[in-house]
Amino acid sequence: MANGNTEAIVEEKLQVQSPAKVVSENLKSTENGDIDVKARPELMELCKEMNAKGLHKFVSDNRKDLASIREEIPVALRSSTDPFRLVLNSMEDFYHPEALTVDGKKDVTLLGLRRTCIMLMESLSALVAETQLDVLVISSKVKECAKMMAIEWKLKLDDVEIEASGGNSLEAHAFLQLLSTFGITSEFDQEEICKLIPSVSRRRQAADLCRSLGLSSKMPGVIEVMINSGRQIDAVNLVCELGMTEQFAPVTLLKSYLKEARKVSQVKAGSTSPGAQSETNERELNALKSVIKCIEEHKLEGLYPVDPLQKRVLQLEKAKADKKRAAEAAKPQPKRPRANGVVTYAPRFTNVVPDNKCMYRGPERYQYVYERPMHPFPVETHASPLLGSVSYNFSTSHGGYYGNGYQYQVPYIH
């Protein structure tokens, strides 16, 4: 990595065809006086001191204020004596040794680190475009270091499952941005670069990357590959962003995507496995929502009205909700647990006096069957011993009784 030694080195201008669009527009509006973008003093100081690790940490710690940071970084980089070397040095930990956690998933901290690296490279590209290549130059030594880093990253890409990223690979995005920002695209095979475009097609910077890498002439072939692999939505996004709608009709691609989704759903519907119909509806529902979102983002409503699609979405969502309610109703009701956690049924009788929440309370004077003995005369001494042992003091374990001798069960209060 370049260390900033004061040695005679050959300087050459960096050729960057397209910056990160949003940042560049913000910087231009600053020149016109519409917006006064000022970087925070600590950010300016870090760039002035060429503190690469400090710069990376500051950006990572302030990602919650992403919109402002994106505008401030290019401004702060102007105070650096060598912004190219500063940004390159800040990316040393992109492939950290502790890349994976115990369960094999990427660590959240690592993902944040990589996003910060990409943001710094995009900000540098925006600064280069904003200065119109009149001031900023990249030394041959820094460029060679960038090339060595790119070679190392390319080898690591072979071990990354970028095909499983669904068009949202951070690793592939960073590699392509490295080639673009440091002007080393010509050092690598163009066909190999094109193969990486589908792995970043869902990232908002995909179209800008294609332009900055000089791949415009190669894009028809890339889009054909995406269409043939069932990724029409991603293809439409690139087609609209790159202005290739005459060559690839977006509406035709979107209808083809829906047709394929329904075809797969019909095959699933023929399955006898439980839940096959639910999976079928869910697949069609997701496809419809993706198409509607794509139409609205690229303002294609005039060519492809969304009302029929939205009606179908409502039908599928209603069917999904109805099925969920039916499944909930069919489930057995849970038993009422006791305080000690033992599940049991309620007793048929209780001697607990109902509280104020009870719907009905019997008169207190009928708490027992009789308030006095049933016979007003004393029991004769010659009576049977069995009869003589009978007592009319009923146990309090009985429920409420009325004077006619019939028992009425007190309802169990849940």
SS3 for the chain is: CCCCCCCCCCEECCCCCCCCHHHHHHHHHHHCCCCCCCCCHHHHHHHHCCCHHHHHHHHHHCHHHHHHHHHHHHHHHCCCCCHHHHHHHCCCCCCCCCCECCCCCECHHHHHHHHHHHHHHHHHHHHHHHCCCCCCCEEHHHHHHHHHHHHHHHHHHCCCCHHHHCCCCHHHHHHHHHHHHCCCHHHCCHHHHHHHHHHHCCCCCHHHHHHHCCCHHHHHHHHHHHHHCCCHHHHHHHHHHCCCCCCCCHHHHHHHHHHHHHHHHHHHHCCCCCCHHHHHHHHHHHHHHHHHHHHHHCCCCCCCCCHHHHHHHHHHHHHHHHHHHHHHHHCCCCCCECCCCCECCCCCCCCCCCCCCCCCCCCHHHCCCCCCCCCCCCCCCCCCHHHHCCCCCCCCCCCCECCCCCECCCCCCC
Average pLDDT over residues 324-335: 78
Q: Centre a 10 Å sphere on the Cβ of residue 405 and count the other Cβ atoms it contains.
A: 7
Average pLDDT over residues 123-151: 87
92-112 mean pLDDT: 69
Burial-class residue 121 by CB neighbours within 10 Å (0-12, 13-18, 19+).
Answer: buried
| 353-406 tens-digit pLDDT | 555 544 445 444 444 444 445 555 455 555 444 444 444 444 444 444 444 444
At 12, give phi and psi (nearest 5°). -145, 150
Least confident of 169-178, 250-259, 313-322: 313-322
CB hemisphere CA count around 114 (13 angstroms)? 19
pLDDT band at 409 (very low <50, low <70, confident <90, very high): very low
- Token pair 């519907």 in the structure block, residue: 269
pLDDT in tens, 286-309: 999 999 999 999 999 999 999 999
- The percentage of residues in the chain with a pLDDT greater than 90, rounded to a whole number, is 48
Region 324-349 average pLDDT: 66
- Predicted confidence band of residue 241 (pLDDT cuts 50, 70, 90): very high
Cβ burial of 31 (10 Å; 0-12, 13-18, 19+) is exposed
**Region of poorest pLDDT, from 5-14, 141-150, 215-224, 358-367:** 5-14
Please tell me the predicted confidence (pLDDT) of residue 394.
44
Please check the confidence at residue 167 and state whether its pLDDT lies above 60.
yes
pLDDT confidence bin for 4, thresholds 50/70/90: very low
Cα 199–chain centre separation: 18
pLDDT the model gives residue 402: 42
Asked if residue 263 lies in contact with residue 278, where contact means CB atoms within 8 angstroms, the answer is no
Check: pTM over 0.85? Answer yes or no: no
Which of the given ranges, 67-76, 333-342, 347-356, 390-399, has the highest pLDDT on average?
67-76
Mean pLDDT of 171-196: 95
Q: Check residues 279 and 366 and name the one with the higher pLDDT.
A: 279
- Model pLDDT, residue 346: 53
pLDDT (0 to 100) of residue 355: 52
Is residue 326 classed exposed, middle or buried when 0-12, 13-18 and 19+ CB atoms within 10 A define those classes?
exposed
pLDDT of residue 43: 94
pLDDT of residue 345: 54
Q: How far apart are CA 179 and CA 122, in angstroms?
A: 11
Beta-bridge mates of residue 337: 343
11-20, 57-66, 71-80, 176-185: the lowest-pLDDT one = 11-20
pLDDT at residue 134 tops 80: no
- Residue recorded with tokens 């499944």: 327
pLDDT of residue 397: 47
Contact 24, 130 (CB under 8 A): yes
Q: What is the average pLDDT across 18-22?
A: 41
129-134 average pLDDT score: 68
Model confidence at 272: pLDDT above 60: no
CA 244 to chain centre: 30
Nearest residue to 18 (alpha-carbon basis) of 159, 168, 179, 170: 179
